[in-house]
Amino acid sequence: MKSVKVGIAGLGTVGSGTVNVLQRNAAEITRRVGRPIEITHIGARRLNPACDIGDIKVSEDIFALVDDPEVDILVELIGGTTTARDLVLAAIRNGKHIVTANKALIAEYGNEIFQTAQEHNVDVGFEASVAGGVPILKALGEGLAANRIKWVAGIINGTGNFILTEMQEKGRDFAEVLAEAQALGYAEADPTFDVEGIDAAHKLTILASIAFGIPLQFSKVYTEGITRITTEDISAVDYFGYRIKHLGIAKDTGNGIELRVHPTLIPKEVLLANVNGVMNAVMVEGDAVGPTLYYGAGAGSEPTASAVVADIIELSRALTVDQVERAPFLGFQAEQLSTDEVLSIEDVMCPYYVRLHVQDKTGVLADITRLLSAEGVSIEAMFQRDTDEEGYVSIVLMTHRIRESALQNALEKIAELEAVGNEIMRIRVEALDAS
């Protein structure tokens, strides 16, 4: 039987892993597909010693793959959004199916890419764009298709999770652990995408679209990083029975969709609180199945290649099927995507952790509680730490559920008090239990 011919653009970490998995498991893959899958063309500026490409044709110009009539499936693994977008759109218009691991490309340009693919009767696989080797997109779009999804919450950036794990388990500060993450290759020289939540926001955009059947809306994701988290916060939340995780959260509130990435307190007993190091995990609650958890390696050469190759296999099986008869790109038919509003962060309602540094003076605590009460903020628990060398004392409190805008109004007024130090820390709290 005629083989399926694959062109791979990019021979970096994931590209080399994809070559290795396809070659090593060729016999098993043939059994699954019913015909061989063959890499016939690679586009890369330089070869990678991590894989053996043998006599596979190599072009320094990745766009040579677009014009290669033999290539059935083009695998985009170059990253970025500029050249990658041009490459993918050109390949689609040339009738080639696409597989990509590029979360930024899908989150920011997916709507355009899917529309173009539909017009040219080709498919786009992007399982590897979220959580590496964890098959969360297929679980959401297919395995849980019978459910109305209530919420999705996940640790979807391994670098941030590694940093918070080291801070929590070893009492190390943020800057020290970040430097180690960079030395180990977990974080880039410029770690902004990881520690400020942009990488997670790209992934959450995709998760939410498949969970709720909404268009991809990266620009509407509220994003907050972990750079302000201190060892004092780690210790304080432990006292209350919580751990801090950098979560991507998407919720269908019934009045709109919440899309937010930020540090979050979750109870120690929740499984997600015990996902440590560079691992990823995503919790999903469906109305029929209840809460489910998906865990595994969120990055790395072969874990990500596992998802890339799974998409290649799926597309290979469907090469003779018209696009309209395949699973929809975002799990819902394109004409049935929801117009539900994405809510502002000010409309989010949840409990909060608040830390303040105040001068050790009579009446300060009374002023703080008065200002909180005026905005309807109710305190669930509170404790006070010893006075430091500068005469300031830490006050840490947990609130009951309150609208974010109300808490923010109260904190702005508290910050104006002469006895209150410059930095006020607040972190959202999520129970992540079935409801």
Burial class (CB in 10 A: 0-12, 13-18, 19+), 217: middle
**Torsion (CA) 26, 27, 32, 34 in degrees, nearest 10:** 100
Alpha carbon distance 424, 418 (integer Å): 13
Identify whether the C-beta of residue 108 lies closer than 8 Å to the C-beta of residue 324. Answer: no
Q: What is the DSSP string of 89-157?
A: HHHHHTT-EEEE--HHHHHHHHHHHHHHHHHTT--EE-GGGSSTT--HHHIIIIITTTS-EEEEEEE--
Q: Which residues lie closer than 8 Å to 308 by C-beta, 6 or more apart?
A: 14, 17, 18, 21, 75, 77, 99, 101, 127, 128
Residue 318 neighbours by CB distance under 10 Å = 16
Q: H-helix or E-strand containing 174?
A: helix 174-184
Closest CA to 217 of 250, 174, 180, 187: 250
Identify whether the C-beta of residue 402 lies closer than 8 Å to the C-beta of residue 347. Answer: no
Identify whether the C-beta of residue 20 lies closer than 8 Å to the C-beta of residue 302. Answer: yes
Q: Is 203 a catalytic residue?
A: yes
Alpha carbon distance 165, 177 (integer Å): 10
**Catalytic position from the list 203, 220, 245, 268:** 203
Beta bridge partner(s), residue 429:
265
**Strands 420-429 vs 257-267: parallel, antiparallel or unpaired:** parallel
Identify whether the C-beta of residue 145 lies closer than 8 Å to the C-beta of residue 331. Answer: yes
- Phi/psi of residue 426, nearest 5 degrees: -135, 135
Alpha carbon distance 262, 196 (integer Å): 9
Alpha carbon distance 335, 351 (integer Å): 37
**Strands 402-403 vs 349-350: parallel, antiparallel or unpaired:** antiparallel
Identify whether the C-beta of residue 62 lies closer than 8 Å to the C-beta of residue 43. Answer: yes
Q: What residues act catalytically?
A: 203
